[in-house]
Chain A
Amino acid sequence: MTPPLLSVSNLTVHFHTEAGVVRALEDISFSIAPGEILGLVGETGCGKSVTASCVMRLIPTPPGRIVSGEILFDGRDILSMSDEEVRLMRGRDMAMIFQDPMSSLNPVFTTGFQVGEAIVTHEPSIAREPLRARVLDLFRKVNIADPETSVNRYPHMMSGGMKQRVMIAMALSCGPKLLIADEPTTALDVSIQAQILTLIRRLQREEGSSVLLISHDLGVIASMADRVTVMYAGSIAETARVRDLFDDPQHPYTRGLLGAIPRLDRDQGRLAVIPGTLPNLMNLPQGCKFRERCAEALPVCAEKRPALAEIRPGHEAACHARTGR
């Protein structure tokens, strides 16, 4: 088996706020193989974006603090790198696409300049003309209409979908091994969403890069990802191949999520709703974080936090009821 491109082990991150310590991530572990798309799914506030920021080491410290854990990227430990090493890695080895293309591009620079800047940062000796050609090429690659004009346009002159294409062009500019897409379609119209996802998929195949796809939309994950990791309240609930997760979800939370998807192909009656709300990350309950909302809770769930355990090869869940402990 090839070693993973990215492997995150036992990552714990706290945010120190005036109101108290927010336990944003607790003992997170997952990995992404070369060329693989891993979907990271969960509700708003479950720690998906924090995880992505940690991988890029873009967590503001303070207030954030990486308490423990290890992030290995291409065999190198990101958390022990110098700031300069991390900087050189950003954009070149791993790149990121953000949720809101409206606010992710700087309003005072042309889109062409902002894409070119990413290239110049990592290839300072590149001349004007080859740089322009590269940028035009990237614009074509992401299907931006009329690249020659578009490179001179400011972000406010473009639609949301076009801006997200610019962001993707920027992310791909240096041929990164890992692309982190943080809710890349959430802020877009539904018709545009499909275009952007298809584009990411196509480019991922062409470039052979790995993708960490963050979404709260299980539909997006199902159509894009090879494997899925489900997060709940800063912990990983379940990790499995997409088919396995959708066919045979193990964790009660995953089942709840799947049950809450409206379906047209069968009569569901009322949608199943997960009762209760997310626990307060500043004041987490003892034992399993999902216990208070779980119909299958055992006495042990109130005492011990369940660890991820393999249910079958490639399928892990953190649930006492499943692992029989």
Chain B
Amino acid sequence: MGRFILRRFAMLIPVLVGVSLTAFLILHLAPGDPARLMAGVEASQEDVDMLRHKFGLDRPLPVQYAMFVKGLVTGELMSLRFESPAMEIILPKLKNTLILACASIVVAVVLGVTAGVLSATHRKSWIDYAATILSLFGISMPVFWWGLLLMLLFSVKLMWLPSGGMGTFRHIILPAVVLGTASTGIIARMTRSSMLDVLRQDYITTAAAKGLTRRLVVNRHALRNALIPTVTVVGLQFGQLLAGAVLTETVFTWPGIGRLLVTSILARDLPVVQAALVIIALLFVFVNLAVDILYAVLDPRIRYNG
């Protein structure tokens, strides 16, 4: 197991190189001159040249990339907008996004797994059909539209929950539900199908033949097996949540990394954009490593040797 984790950490290196290179090149692949964009249309050619020189944009691309990586590693990469290190801006926002993403994944797993299990155990009943329709609804609902609808109902009409910002537990409910809606649907569908598959297995009959209650047969013998494919989906969904957070955070003015990305792009604060992308990718890799470890916990047949 230890060696497996070490190997996975070693695999981080090519992933990080790829991600940082992509994030870096976005700047140069994007049409227009970054220095000109930063300086604004009214600026004189001298001002633009000065800016270009100040941020090293006049140096060869490999040198610029090396400077970017160095800045990332040492934490000296500076934001263009705030005159402070990019990491100092990103990390607090990242924490907020993680709080939101974790809350969403909890919502999605609890609701999704419950709905999936009920669907499978009550196959072809109204519960199954209702869960299926709701899941498809959740998967297809655009985040910004769904967010506005919920806000309209719970914040404006009923005045139960705040419409935006961060602070109390009540603030997180709406954004977490909105962000987790699509994942709930996907997890419910996945759990349903793997549960149906597991319920057909011989060991389920064995468990029933021992005299176990239906509840134990389902919750102990079937669920543990059915969760293995679900865990994969949860890991992938977590990445989706980080990406989806951009919209949700904008709708609910949640001070997270998604909103930082949007404002930084609008303000041409490219170092912050690039660094944030690298951090998000890093996080995604870690989540998937956690998923692989969780497999081994759930399924004794999976042991990562060597």
Cβ A107 vs Cβ B212 within 8 A: no
Closest to A88 in B: B211
Cβ B209 vs Cβ A95 within 8 A: yes
Cβ B211 vs Cβ A121 within 8 A: yes
Interface residues of B in 192-216 (CB under 8 A from A): 201-203, 205-213
Flag whether B54 is at the interface (Cβ < 8 A): no
Cβ B209 vs Cβ A96 within 8 A: yes
Cβ A104 vs Cβ B300 within 8 A: no
Cβ B300 vs Cβ A91 within 8 A: no
Interface residues of A in 28-63 (CB under 8 A from B): 56, 58
Within the complex, what minimum Cβ distance (angstroms) separates A98 from chain B? 6
Please tell me the size bucket of the interface on B.
Answer: 10 to 19
Cβ B224 vs Cβ A108 within 8 A: yes
Bound-state CA distance A92–B210 (Å) is 8
Flag whether A106 is at the interface (Cβ < 8 A): yes
Bound-state CA distance A106–B221 (Å) is 7
List the interface of chain A (C-beta within 8 A of B): 56, 58, 87-92, 95-96, 98, 100, 103-109, 117-118, 121-122, 154, 156, 167, 170
Closest to B225 in A: A108
Assuming the contacts A87-B211, A108-B298, asked whether A167 and B206 have C-beta atoms less than 8 A apart, the reply is yes
Bound-state CA distance A122–B209 (Å) is 12
* Chain A residues whose CB sits within 8 angstroms of the CB of B157 once the complex forms: none
Cβ B206 vs Cβ A98 within 8 A: yes
Interface of A is mostly: mixed
Cβ A117 vs Cβ B210 within 8 A: yes
Cβ B202 vs Cβ A154 within 8 A: no
List 13 A-B residue pairs with CB atoms under 8 Å apart, sorted by A's residue number. A58-B208, A89-B211, A90-B210, A103-B202, A104-B205, A106-B203, A107-B203, A108-B225, A108-B299, A109-B224, A121-B210, A121-B211, A121-B212
Bound-state CA distance A32–B201 (Å) is 29
Cβ B300 vs Cβ A87 within 8 A: no
Bound-state CA distance A167–B202 (Å) is 12
Cβ B205 vs Cβ A58 within 8 A: yes
Cβ A107 vs Cβ B210 within 8 A: no
* Chain A residues whose CB sits within 8 angstroms of the CB of B299 once the complex forms: 107-108
Bound-state CA distance A90–B298 (Å) is 28
Closest to A117 in B: B210
Cβ A118 vs Cβ B300 within 8 A: no
Assuming the contacts A108-B298, A108-B299, A156-B300, asked whether A103 and B203 have C-beta atoms less than 8 A apart, the reply is yes
Bound-state CA distance A122–B212 (Å) is 9
* Chain A residues whose CB sits within 8 angstroms of the CB of B206 once the complex forms: 96, 98, 104-106, 167, 170
Interface residues of B in 266-301 (CB under 8 A from A): 298-301
* Chain B residues whose CB sits within 8 angstroms of the CB of A96 once the complex forms: 206, 209
Q: How many contacts between A and B, using CB within 8 angstroms?
A: 67
* Chain B residues whose CB sits within 8 angstroms of the CB of A104 once the complex forms: 202-203, 205-206
Closest to A89 in B: B211
Assuming the contacts A104-B203, A107-B299, A156-B300, asked whether A122 and B225 have C-beta atoms less than 8 A apart, the reply is no
Interface centre among B203, B207, B209, B225 (most CB of A within 10 A): B209
List the interface of chain B (C-beta within 8 A of A): 201-203, 205-213, 221, 224-225, 298-301
Cβ A98 vs Cβ B202 within 8 A: yes
Closest to B204 in A: A106
* Chain A residues whose CB sits within 8 angstroms of the CB of B298 once the complex forms: 108
Bound-state CA distance A4–B14 (Å) is 73
Cβ B211 vs Cβ A156 within 8 A: no
Within the complex, what minimum Cβ distance (angstroms) separates B193 from chain A? 19
Bound-state CA distance A107–B210 (Å) is 16
Cβ A91 vs Cβ B211 within 8 A: yes
Bound-state CA distance A58–B211 (Å) is 11
6 new A-B contacts, CB < 8 A, other than A87-B212, A90-B210, A170-B210, are A98-B202, A98-B205, A98-B206, A103-B201, A103-B203, A106-B203
Cβ B225 vs Cβ A106 within 8 A: yes
Cβ A106 vs Cβ B209 within 8 A: no
Closest to A83 in B: B214
Interface centre among B206, B299, B301 (most CB of A within 10 A): B206
Closest to B228 in A: A108
Within the complex, what minimum Cβ distance (angstroms) separates B216 from chain A? 8
Bound-state CA distance A91–B212 (Å) is 9
Cβ B205 vs Cβ A108 within 8 A: no
Residue in B202, B209, B212, B213 whose beta carbon sits within 8 Å of that of A100 in the complex: B202
* Chain A residues whose CB sits within 8 angstroms of the CB of B225 once the complex forms: 106-108
Bound-state CA distance A139–B209 (Å) is 19
Closest to A173 in B: B210
Residue in A117, A122, A154, A167 whose beta carbon sits within 8 Å of that of B300 in the complex: A154
Bound-state CA distance A117–B298 (Å) is 19
* Chain B residues whose CB sits within 8 angstroms of the CB of A91 once the complex forms: 209-211
Closest to A96 in B: B209
* Chain A residues whose CB sits within 8 angstroms of the CB of B203 once the complex forms: 103-107
Bound-state CA distance A46–B29 (Å) is 70
Closest to A100 in B: B202
Bound-state CA distance A107–B300 (Å) is 7
* Chain B residues whose CB sits within 8 angstroms of the CB of A107 once the complex forms: 203, 225, 299-301
* Chain B residues whose CB sits within 8 angstroms of the CB of A56 once the complex forms: 209
Closest to A121 in B: B211
* Chain A residues whose CB sits within 8 angstroms of the CB of B208 once the complex forms: 58, 90
Bound-state CA distance A96–B208 (Å) is 10
Closest to B221 in A: A106
Cβ A90 vs Cβ B209 within 8 A: yes
* Chain B residues whose CB sits within 8 angstroms of the CB of A105 once the complex forms: 203, 206
Residue in A98, A103, A117, A154 whose beta carbon sits within 8 Å of that of B301 in the complex: A154
Bound-state CA distance A43–B119 (Å) is 36
The 6 closest A-B pairs by CB, nearest first: A91-B211, A90-B211, A103-B202, A91-B210, A106-B203, A118-B210
